[in-house]
Amino acid sequence: MLTRRIIVCLDVAVGRVVKGTKFEQLRDVGDPAELAVRYERDSADEVVLLDVSAYAEGRRTMLDVVRRTADKLSVPLTVGGRIRTIADVRQLLRSGADKVSINSAAVADPFLISRAADQFGSQCVVVSIDARRHTESWRAYTHGGSRITGLDVVDWARECVARGAGELLVTSVDCDGMREGYDLELLRSVRAVSRVPVIASGGAGTAAHVVAAFVDGMADAALIAGIVHDGITTIAALKADVAAAGIPVRLETAA
C-alpha cells in the first residue's frame, strides 16, 4: 500500500541551515548535510532544501550543499529556490537532487514547467504554489509570499498539472509558521483539480494537523519544518500518531 509521506524542509542561506523570517533575522542552526541525515534517521520520507540566500552568491554554494547532502542521504532530495532556467534544473539534478521545486520562475514563464518535464521527466518537477486567501478564493504569490500575482490558485494548479508538473507543493502563506493547522479547504480545492500528488505545506503544529491534512485535506504528503527544528516533536513521534489514526506511513527500520 502506498504510504503517506512526511517531508522535512530545511531553509538554507549561503551554505547553512537557518531559521527565522525569510531574509530577516536569520539564525544559523547547522550544516544542511548533517541535519538532513539526522532527519533521515528520524524516518523522514524526503528532504527539501530551500535556498533562501538573499544574494546570488548563494547559488554556487548551494550546488556544493546539494552535492554534500546527496552524498550522505539515502532518501529523495528536492531542491528549491532561485531556480530560473533549464540549465539551473540540469545543474541541480547532476549535483544529486532528485527533484527540483520551481515557484516564481514558473509563474514568470509557465513554459519552464513543460520544458523541464519534457527533458527530465515529470517525476522530478515539483511546482511550488504560495497561496493567500482572498475572501472566497486564493491568489498565488511569488518571492517568498511577498509579491501578488494575477493567478487564481486553483486555475494555476490546473495549468501546472497540464504542463507536466509531477507534484504540487501547496503552501498557505496565511497559515505558515502559525502552527494552527494546514489550510484544509485550500488543499481540497487544489486536490479536486489535480491528478498529481499534492504536498500540504504551512501550518503544522501537531500530529493532529498532519492527520487532518491527509484525511480532510486529501494530501498525499505533508511538509513540516519548525516543529521538528525547534524540537517540539520528532518525525518518528509524528508518524506513530499518524499510524495510530489508521493512515499508512513508513516506519524506518534501524540500520
Partner 1 sequence: MIATVLDFGVGNVHSLTRGLLSLGLSIEVTDNPREALASELLVLPGVGAFSAAARQLAPVREELRAALADGLPCLAICLGMQLLFHGSEEGQGKGIGLIGGCSTRLTGDRVPHMGWNTVATASPLLSDSQPMYFAHSYACRPNDPSAVGGWTDCDGDRFPALVQTARTTGVQFHPEKSGEAGRAFLRTWIKEVERCA
The residues that touch partner 1, with contacts defined as CB under 8 A, are 1-5, 40, 45, 67, 70-71, 73-77, 90, 93-98, 118-124, 166-167, 195-197, 220-221, 250, 252-255
Calculate the CA dihedral of residues 93, 202, 178, 250 and round it to 10 degrees. Answer: -90
For the bound state, the minimum distance from the C-beta of residue 166 to partner 1, rounded and expressed in Å, comes to 5
For the bound state, the minimum distance from the C-beta of residue 12 to partner 1, rounded and expressed in Å, comes to 18
Nearer to partner 1, 98 or 174 (CB): 98
Contact yes or no for 136/173 (Cβ under 8 A) = no
Nearer to partner 1, 56 or 254 (CB): 254
For the bound state, the minimum distance from the C-beta of residue 222 to partner 1, rounded and expressed in Å, comes to 12
The reply to whether 216 belongs to the active site is: no
Nearer to partner 1, 175 or 249 (CB): 249
Beta bridge mates, 200 = 170, 222
Q: Smallest Cα–Cα separation from 7: which of 103, 73, 105?
A: 73
DSSP assignment letter at 252: P
Residue carrying the nine cell digits 534544473: 89
For the bound state, the minimum distance from the C-beta of residue 78 to partner 1, rounded and expressed in Å, comes to 11
At CA 66, angle to CA 116 and CA 85, rounded to 5? 30
Nearer to partner 1, 153 or 161 (CB): 161
Contact yes or no for 180/203 (Cβ under 8 A) = yes
Nearer to partner 1, 97 or 173 (CB): 97
For the bound state, the minimum distance from the C-beta of residue 23 to partner 1, rounded and expressed in Å, comes to 29
173/159 Cα distance (integer angstroms): 21
Contact yes or no for 190/214 (Cβ under 8 A) = no
* Residue of 51, 130, 176, 220 marked catalytic: 130
User: 111-132: buried (b, 16+ CB within 10 Å) or exposed (e) per residue?
Assistant: ebbbbbbeebebebbbbbbbbb
170/153 Cα distance (integer angstroms): 9
The reply to whether 130 belongs to the active site is: yes
Residues catalogued as catalytic: 11, 130
